[in-house]
Copies of this chain bind each other. A is one copy, B any other.
Amino acid sequence: MNTPSPRPPAGAHEPARNPGGWRLRMYTVIFEADTRAGRLFDLVLVALILASATVVVLDSVASVHDRHGALLTALEWFFTVAFTVEYIARLVCVRHPLRYARSAFGIIDLVALLPTYIAVFVPGLHALIDVRLLRLLRLFRILKLGAYVTEFGLLGRALVASRRKILVFMVFVLMVVTIMGTLMYVVEGPENGYTSIPVGVYWAITTMTTVGFGDITPKTDLGRVIASTMMLLGWGTLAVPTGIVSAEFTAQRFGRSPTTRTCHECLSEGHLPSARFCRDCGAPLPPWQHDATLADPSTPGQRPG
């Protein structure tokens, strides 16, 4: 979510070339939040998004639906039309409509429109309109929350950096739950609710994640022995993601990611932020300021105010 996109979103949102005055104005209002009009537009947009989500939620409550069903449907169509118009407007006033349409936000904006239209043919799906909430991700840009998410950007970057570690972990977990699920299917069998291997896997996941719904539970002694082992080991296994994340936050908390201090001479890593010379070959290290420029925005939360 926070990985730097190859092409800065700004890049996707340039005004149309030699725009007619109205297109430039439109661009400024829709895509920028620095003019009063632009800011107003964004706030109205957020209000509409929240309102439309609320409408869908209320509509799903039987009692409310029975009383105000017609009104809610009307509102839903109103919001959908409004968002459709907005989407077209965005396409019109950017220089590279396709590039916008292919950008993360462009896709979200489009997907957020479809449910209502689809619901015409496939009733019931319209509840999916809640996907519109994803549009709130805009809030981060609107409210200039850039700094707010930088820390998570760091976390995201760190997780991307250790994606191999996570990949291996996930493969391992999936392998384990599949085998355990199969085992329980064989041991407990359909008569105890383990009607198929997929169900067994589903059970294994609820168990290893310590969710433990209890809709399916082992009844036989052997099954309970296996389950007990799974729980004890599973806990240890799931300590791994916590460990990875904790380590990242600890590294951030200490205001340093040692891997960013590499000696240009001998490529040795892990130099303390305060080090000025390479422990290894004595070559001078890139100055702390360099690190600071990275670390500074990365720890806004750490410097209250």
The residues of A with any CB-CB pair to B shorter than 8 Å are 53, 56-57, 60-62, 124-125, 127-128, 130-131, 133-134, 136, 139-140, 145, 147-149, 151-152, 155, 157-158, 160-165, 167-171, 173, 175, 178-179, 182-183, 185-186, 189-190, 195-199, 201-202, 205-207, 209-215, 217, 221, 224-225, 227-228, 231-232, 234-236, 238-256, 258-259, 266-276, 279-280, 288-289, 292, 295-296, 299-305
Contact = CB atoms under 8 A, between A and B. Distances in A.
Given A211-B212, A269-B255, A274-B280, A198 B61 contact: yes
29 contacts: A53-B178, A56-B182, A57-B178, A57-B196, A60-B182, A125-B186, A134-B175, A139-B171, A145-B164, A147-B164, A152-B169, A155-B240, A161-B301, A162-B301, A173-B232, A206-B212, A209-B232, A210-B211, A236-B245, A242-B242, A242-B246, A246-B246, A259-B299, A259-B302, A266-B288, A269-B299, A269-B303, A270-B272, A276-B279
Given A239-B242, A244-B249, A247-B250, A148 B133 contact: no
Number of copies: 4
Given A167-B148, A240-B245, A299-B259, A217 B224 contact: no
A198 B224 contact: yes
B215 A211 contact: no
A209 B185 contact: no
Contacts of A304: 157-158, 160-161, 259
Nearest to A255: B270
A98 B210 CA distance: 42
Nearest to A279: B274
B273 A269 contact: yes
Contact of A163 (B173, B227, B301): B301
Contacts of A171: 136, 139
B198 A221 contact: yes
Contacts of A236: 241, 245
B274 A270 contact: yes
